[in-house]
Structure 1
Amino acid sequence: MADLRGGDLSRLRQLNSLTAIRALRRAGPLTLSALAERTGLSRPSMKEVTDELMGLGWVEEVPPSPGTMGRPARRYRFRADSGYLVGVDIGGHNIRAALSDLDGEILAETRQPVLPDAPLEERLAAIERAVEGCLTLSRTSVSDLWTVAVGTIGVIDVEGRVIYSAAVPAWRDLDLAGRLREMFPCPVLVENDSRLAAMAETRRGVAQGARDVVFLHVGLRMGAGLVIDGKVHRGFGAAAGEVAMLPESRWFDAPEHLNTCACVPEGVPPEDAAGHTLAAARNGDPVAIACVERYVDDLAVGTAAMVLILDPQMVVLGGGFSRSSDVLLEPLRRRLEKRCMRMPEVRASTLGDECVVVGAIEYAVAHLDDQLFPADRGPLPVVR
């Protein structure tokens, strides 16, 4: 941090501005007195900072509430609507997109179906349609976007290239970040979907406040995301959590216990077979229950390994199958209790199918904070 003892007033104003913005983003709208109290600045100093931020376009005065009597104190808020963020979840069967303001409040969501074996250009076109749908619903344009954050299945390197993807063959060795930057005139971030889902659960879901979390992304394919000391863990080569790649974990083929269960009637689409098995198990079908038990046997192997290594506070069951947590959680707990030295909490996701797209929005917000509001950056730009 800069040494302010020598009277670097421009640096001091910059730090005061960043402090004010952080306070307004967390708790706005605030009066000058409340803002001064939260930031530790004097009221006159806070007035100068607020006037400067209003001139730059980062802050605006909030009109008094209708019916307010007398002369109300002026209140100020961070202009979260001065730009927009997009989060995208690229799954095997669906593309989900969400648009939010700069604080991460989601304003519009859309979904585009896509086949797992769809050609590359068709899948990329579905992504573009999903984002365009959000823009249309929110009455914004692509030029209003500040960041697009994408979560996708597969092993993703630090540059946003898909190194490996068993579920989507067209994704392999694809510079996904590069292709998406051709679509959108703003920064594009690409991350593994399980890691974004883990981020979402710790920021907005069942794991809020937990510092060490194993997120199980269970659905038509298996994945995991790790949170260590409050931060999503990527690993040295961005391959942390890829337990499914270990054959002994039995994760790669585990969903087949549900997909090929004898209780599934003929004619049920492959993508709906597992859901049918889980529903039948909930209704007491012994054949379905046996298939679920075999599935949880496999799920518990990789989960126990991660619990023994990380000793997490919580294991979160998320992804498409988390809708059936009532038939999966207790069998999983029983198996972990037999294998683990210390039993963590085992909870179901509260975000369900939305966990990846919500995590993508959170990732975009974090990127915005890192780029625009760190203490060591230059002066804030003007926004309109």
Structure 2
Amino acid sequence: MADVRGGDLSRLRQLNSLTAIRALRKAGPLTLSALAERAGLSRPSMKEVTDELMRLGWVEEVPPSQGTMGRPARRYRFRADSGHLVGVDIGGHNIRAALSDLDGEILAETRQPVRPDAPLEERLAAIERAVAGCLALSRTTVADVWMISVGTIGVIDVAGRVIYSAAVPAWRDLDLAGELRRMFPWQVLIENDSRLAAMAEARRGVARGARDVVFLHVGRRMGAGLIIGGKVHRGFGAASGEIVMLPEARWFNAPEHLHTCASVPAGTPPEDAAGYTLAAARNGDPVAIEAVERYVEDLAVGTAAMVLILDPQMVVLGGGFSRSADVLLEPLRERLEARCMRMPEMRASTLGDECVVVGAIDYAVNHLDDQLFTTDNGPLPLTR
């Protein structure tokens, strides 16, 4: 695609073109009159801008609905299908991948199991298979993809290197961004998985509109993401939310209460043990209920510390264990009420295990907006 903000258009027309694209992405399809009103332009001026954007391939006319009487007004939409984005969730036991259009609408998803102790080459190969599966399912070529955005376990520095990973030994001190650039011919984004999960919650989930949020990323391991002032907080060294690293918070070993519960039948796969305990507690098993109580007590310690520091509007229980919010949320609320000066709203995520891969897609969409659809950094090519 051509450069909307380059030398082909005057500065004024550049701004008008970007205004039109933003309006169509937010509220399209729109008629020419509605688009002109949103952009503050005359209808003839907007017609010139729209024609140019259609020539460049960013906008197309929407066919009229079947059965429409008379001559319908022409409507236009942003061509979100003019490129694609890939999101990846690199977990300890699974690699999830999703492919979306430029607006973040997910078109295909795949999952590849992987062992936490798998060697580096095996884990990288699982990532490649998951991404290839998305391309195959959506009949998308490598050339159609613009960007890959990855959420991963571990402490990640600003350059995309994994500084520390307790769950995956092969991941420690790994230049993950460099590895992915060798695997894929696309722009690479790397972020901590819990922060991406928080981003997904703020953009698509129960935290939409909330400005200060503690997101509890709970599953077979524990993590947290913070939203401050409506934005995901990374911290000076991109290490915010790592309260699991504080032994006194009791988060690191908290899931063991669920994994090692005596109610879990012998021979249950380790990845299913916690789910069995939570289901048994839901059904009234006293041993399972006691295990859940111990787990929630540990969860409450670190959560209360974050609530007391941030004073958030909302605490969101997310991640794989959010499917058992009916068992976990009320006892967590009771413990926070006993510790916190002011109780935030408590909500359960509806994104479940998909929170990280969805957040990775949203991170790519945001990055695309910053690169292509703003003028803050001067003229940039409206291509990848």
Q: Displacement, 1:42?
A: 1.2
RMSD of Structure 2 on Structure 1 (CA): 1.1
Q: Secondary structure at the match of 1:86?
A: strand
Provide the residue aligned with 1:266 in structure 2: 266
What is the alpha-carbon distance in structure 1 between the residues aligned to residue 63 and residue 154 of structure 2?
48
Tell me the TM-score normalised to structure 1 length: 0.96
Q: Aligned ranges for residues 154-233 of structure 1 at < 5 Å? A: 154-233=154-233
Please list every run of at least 4 consecutive aligned residues from structure 1 whose deviation after the TM superposition is greater than 6 angstroms.
none
Structure 1 residue aligned with 2:289: 289
Counterpart of 2:279, as a letter, is A
Change (3 A) 1:66 1:382: farther
* CA displacement, residues 103-148 of structure 1 (integer Å, 9 cap, x when unaligned): 0000111111111111111111111111111101111111111110
Pairwise CA distance, 1:68: 2.3
The CA deviation at 1:67 is: 2.6
Determine the structure 1 residue equivalent to 2:318.
318
Aligned residues of 2:243 and 2:249 also touching (Cα < 8 A): yes
CA contact (8 A) 1:56 1:382 kept: no
Deviation at 1:325, TM superposition (A): 0.6
Q: Which residue of 2 aligns with 1:332?
A: 332
How far apart are the structure 1 equivalents of 2:70 and 2:265?
70
Q: Counterparts of 1:1-384 in structure 2 under 5 Å?
A: 10-376=10-376, 377-378=378-379, 381=382
**Aligned-partner SS, 1:191:** strand
Alpha-carbon separation, structure 2, partners of 1:271 and 1:75: 50
C-alpha displacement of 1:10: 1.4
For residues 362-383 of structure 1, the C-alpha deviation after alignment (integer angstroms, 9 at most, x for no partner) is 0000010011111233265479
SS in 1 for 2:10: helix
Deviation of 1:40 (Å): 1.4
CA displacement at 1:279 relative to structure 2: 0.7
Once residues 333 and 66 of structure 1 are traced to their aligned partners in structure 2, the CA distance between those partners, rounded to angstroms, is: 52
**What SS class does the counterpart of residue 100 from structure 2 fall into?**
strand
Q: CA deviation at 1:223?
A: 0.3
Task: Provide, for residues 38-96 of structure 1, a one-character-per-residue CA deviation record: whole Å limited to 9, x for no partner.
Answer: 11111111111111111111111112222322221111110100000011011111111
3-state SS of the aligned residue for 1:251? coil
Cα displacement string for residues 335-361 of structure 1 (whole angstroms, at most 9, x for unaligned residues): 000111110011111101100010000
Conserved 8 A contact 1:14-1:379: no
The answer for unaligned runs of 5 or more in structure 2 is 1-8
The answer to whether the 8 A contact 1:207-1:213 is kept is yes
Q: Is the 8 A contact 1:57 1:382 kept in 2?
A: no
Corresponding residue number in structure 1 for 2:5: none
Measured against aligned partners, the alpha-carbon deviations of 1:298-344 in whole angstroms (never above 9, x if no partner) come to 00000000000000000000111111111100000000001111100
Alignment partner of 2:334: what SS? helix
Q: How many residues align?
A: 375
Instruction: Find the residue that maps to 1:146 and give its secondary structure.
Output: strand
Q: Which runs of 5+ in 1 are unaligned?
A: 1-8
Contact 2:58 2:79 in 1 (8 A): yes
Q: Which whole-Å CA distance do the structure 2 matches of 1:51 and 1:382 have between them?
A: 19
SS at match of 1:223: strand
The equivalent residue for 1:5 is none
Distance 1:65 1:71, change over 3 A: same
Which piece of structure 1 moves more, 67-76 or 103-112? 67-76
Partner of 2:3: none
- 1:221 partner amino acid: R
Output the amino acid matched with 2:342. R
Change (3 A) 1:379 1:260: closer
Match for 2:187: what amino acid? P
Three-state SS of the structure 1 residue aligned to 2:174 is coil
- 1:89–1:97 contact (8 Å) kept in structure 2: yes
Give the TM-score, by structure 2 length. Answer: 0.96
Deviations 1:144-188 (A, max 9, x none): 111100001000000111000001110000000110111111101
Q: 1:308 to 1:29 in 2, by over 3 A?
A: same
Distance 2:155 2:178 in 1: 16
Q: Secondary structure at the match of 1:266?
A: coil
- Partners of 1:216 and 1:309 in 2: CA distance: 15
CA-to-aligned-CA distance 1:20-49 (integer Å, 9 cap, x gap): 000000111111001011111111111111
| Amino acid in the other structure paired with 2:219 | G
- Give distance in 1, aligned partners of 2:382 and 2:336: 52
1:214 touches 1:316 (CA, 8 Å); kept in 2? yes
1:6 alignment partner in structure 2: none
Distance 1:259 1:194 in 2: 21
Tell me the distance in 2 between the aligned counterparts of 1:129 and 1:67: 45
Question: Is the CA contact 2:161–2:176 (under 8 Å) kept in the aligned structure 1?
Answer: yes
Give the CA deviation at 1:281: 0.5
Q: Report SS of the residue matched to 1:362.
A: helix
* 2:372 and 2:383 in contact (8 A); partners too: no
Contact 2:371-2:380 within 8 A present in 1 as well: no
